[in-house]
Structure 1
């Protein structure tokens, strides 16, 4: 007897799109497979509209080949409370209308938490992709989102063994936890050919392993004048040795203007507009090293074995440090860390287990088994 499972897949912000794309593609493949044990999978893609800038949203859907969302909640920006509340208010009637068997949430943005809360109240099962990641820093809004989502979710799909350990320590039953691997790597591998054929290196005059790729946007790095001034000074020193490419987040640009930090006076620093996914992957693989405060870039650089300095005091992805090419840094020792990176091999580290491009298969299998 055939079984039909209806799933709502939630995408809230730019990092989510790379995570939902392979899941959607796997559902489509599964549904077309005649040997699918009689289970029919049906999905609807819900975009909460938490990121509403076209450069931060629409271009990613096009690049990743994700179909247009079935529903866009269009919540826009606002404080954490406003955004979370607006998603909940708009998502609840969707759940009541659609009556899904599962809601799949990914990552750690406000939409992840908000949709999980709605489902918990309505008795709808939630699968959390990227469960169990912890920075142990509750001053980060994402950390609060992770903890609450994992406490309420019915199926916790983890990217690495440390995430399983975190959940067990928090009292989550082992029966709810599945180690499936890193779904971001599915997207990376699916897009590798396009990334490697990107014209970005020629367009801005860069050579393989002959430049530094920088992405920084967290408030701790860009919202304080002393920190941002030190940071831009450090980049100026690096730029004397190697070109520095910095796709600048609009907020970072605004803060530089506010603090009167001149950007056009730093020789070798190339500030460009935010990049698409393929261009970013191309730069991550080709860079001499990456300087970032982004979670996704820590993972992508680990896959490429590109040295990465993460300008944060902690990371929820410790496997990128213990196995991969990532190192945590801070403004006090950034110059020394940069010197160390430049003085060693251009590729380091290992690719963690189950970062193999087949995570979306394991996610779908786990949801079917748990149904």
Structure 2
């Protein structure tokens, strides 16, 4: 074995915590040294520390508390602080997951160090370069020493960009996470009772992306479409609202129809349970598209493109943009879907496969 053994995981948002939880558990089960570096990109309690507690994960070794800011300001601060942390840790490997500013910061810092960079969930492409996440994905993939692609489609995307070496299709750790947590959510979550909901008789809305909630007309169209869809199927809507979106509602003076019930951001187990029993999800989140597909809950995505095209291919998801009439039609069709598609994201052993490869390089 080499002298340096520590694997550092750099993360900063709720989806990263969820998707890296299986990797952390696998590291613990192997007794392999690791260090968690949390940038603090999500800084409210329900979007951050409560997740570690609820998922029975140890608190991060480093909590950088970067918080919000413009993309440049936030990423720049992260690069500075992550560099300090990784220089102290001196890891053999750094693992990042996904497409956030935290991922990009971790990738840039690692590329300047004597450490290998592994990108989990590599190769996703929406082919919409106006999305900050798309640039984060591309730059991180091209900086990485090993790329853990969730699907063959993602690996094919990498090949078109000339990345063919050190690419392994492992499946997505989101399957590991959903498998590990859905039973726990069923046992512990009281979310349906709190909101007086019956399984299969409500819709869930999540809208938080800047291109949707920072544009008044787009945000209004989404809300109107979801409200009309809810009326057409006779179900209420639960909208666990992101702080950014809530600020925009006030700023734009947008009213919320009575059949859309706003809620504070939910903890992971509550949200997972809410997803599992919803008639349909309406979302602009890539992670929600994946989880809904795995949970056999139909999804309608209020975007023009997706970096999870597999969800559309298997019939679990429909892209509708923000057109009100298209949202209504898609929700009505989704509610009647049989949800008999095949999960395209692997068999739930992604974390094990990833660490088999990483740990082998350290022997």
> TM-score range, shorter-chain basis?
over 0.9
Q: Is the 8 A contact 2:181 2:269 kept in 1?
A: yes
Q: Is the 8 A contact 1:11 1:106 kept in 2?
A: yes
How far apart, CA to CA, are the structure 1 residues paired with 2:229 and 2:327?
A: 11
**Matching residue of 1:188:** 178
Say whether residues 1:92 and 2:79 are aligned partners.
Answer: no
Q: Which runs of 5+ in 2 are unaligned?
A: none
Query: 1:109 aligned to 91, 100, 104, which one?
Result: 100
Describe the SS at the equivalent of 2:294: helix
Residue 236 of structure 1: how far off its partner (Å) = 2.3
**Matching residue of 1:335:** 328
Query: 2:283 aligned to 283, 286, 292, which one?
Result: 292
**Matching residue of 1:34:** none
Deviations 1:77-120 (A, max 9, x none): 11111111111111223222222110111111111111111111
Q: Is the 8 A contact 2:222 2:302 kept in 1?
A: no
1:132-281 pair list within 5 angstroms? 132-174=123-165, 176-197=166-187, 198-240=189-231, 241-263=234-256, 266-281=257-272
1:304-323 pair list within 5 angstroms? 304-323=295-314
**Matching residue of 2:29:** 29
Deviations 1:182-221 (A, max 9, x none): 1011111111112123111111111111010111111222
Describe the SS at the equivalent of 1:363: helix
Q: Which 4+ runs in 1 deviate beyond 4 A? A: 1-4
Deviations 1:134-168 (A, max 9, x none): 11111000111111111010010111111110111
Describe the SS at the equivalent of 1:150: helix
Q: Which runs of 5+ in 1 are unaligned?
A: 32-40
Q: Is the 8 A contact 1:307 1:348 kept in 2?
A: no
Describe the SS at the equivalent of 2:33: strand
Deviations 1:4-24 (A, max 9, x none): 621111111111101221111
Q: Is the 8 A contact 1:22 1:186 kept in 2?
A: yes
Describe the SS at the equivalent of 2:10: strand
Deviations 1:221-271 (A, max 9, x none): 2222222222222222233311111111122222222222222xx233221
Q: Is the 8 A contact 1:19 1:106 kept in 2?
A: yes
How far apart, CA to CA, are the structure 2 residues paired with 1:152 and 1:236?
A: 43
Q: Is the 8 A contact 1:159 1:180 kept in 2?
A: yes
Q: Is the 8 A contact 2:292 2:299 kept in 1?
A: yes
Residue 353 of structure 1: how far off its partner (Å) = 5.1
**Matching residue of 1:16:** 16
Query: 2:341 aligned to 340, 343, 349, which one?
Result: 349
- TM-score, with length taken from structure 2: 0.94
Cα distance change, pair 69–86 in 1 and its aligned pair in 2 (3 A): same
How far apart, CA to CA, are the structure 1 residues paired with 2:80 and 2:40?
A: 14
Cα distance change, pair 357–285 in 1 and its aligned pair in 2 (3 A): same
How far apart, CA to CA, are the structure 1 residues paired with 2:155 and 2:223?
A: 38
Residue 360 of structure 1: how far off its partner (Å) = 0.6
How far apart, CA to CA, are the structure 2 residues paired with 1:370 and 1:167?
A: 22
How far apart, CA to CA, are the structure 2 residues paired with 1:2 and 1:77?
A: 38
Describe the SS at the equivalent of 1:191: helix
**Matching residue of 2:35:** 44
Q: Across the two proteins, how many residue pairs are aligned to each other?
A: 357
Describe the SS at the equivalent of 2:66: coil
How far apart, CA to CA, are the structure 2 residues paired with 1:115 and 1:220?
A: 25
Cα distance change, pair 149–2 in 1 and its aligned pair in 2 (3 A): closer
How far apart, CA to CA, are the structure 2 residues paired with 1:212 and 1:157?
A: 33
How far apart, CA to CA, are the structure 1 residues paired with 2:229 and 2:11?
A: 37
How far apart, CA to CA, are the structure 1 residues paired with 2:317 and 2:90?
A: 42
Residue 324 of structure 1: how far off its partner (Å) = 4.8
How far apart, CA to CA, are the structure 2 residues paired with 1:244 and 1:325?
A: 20
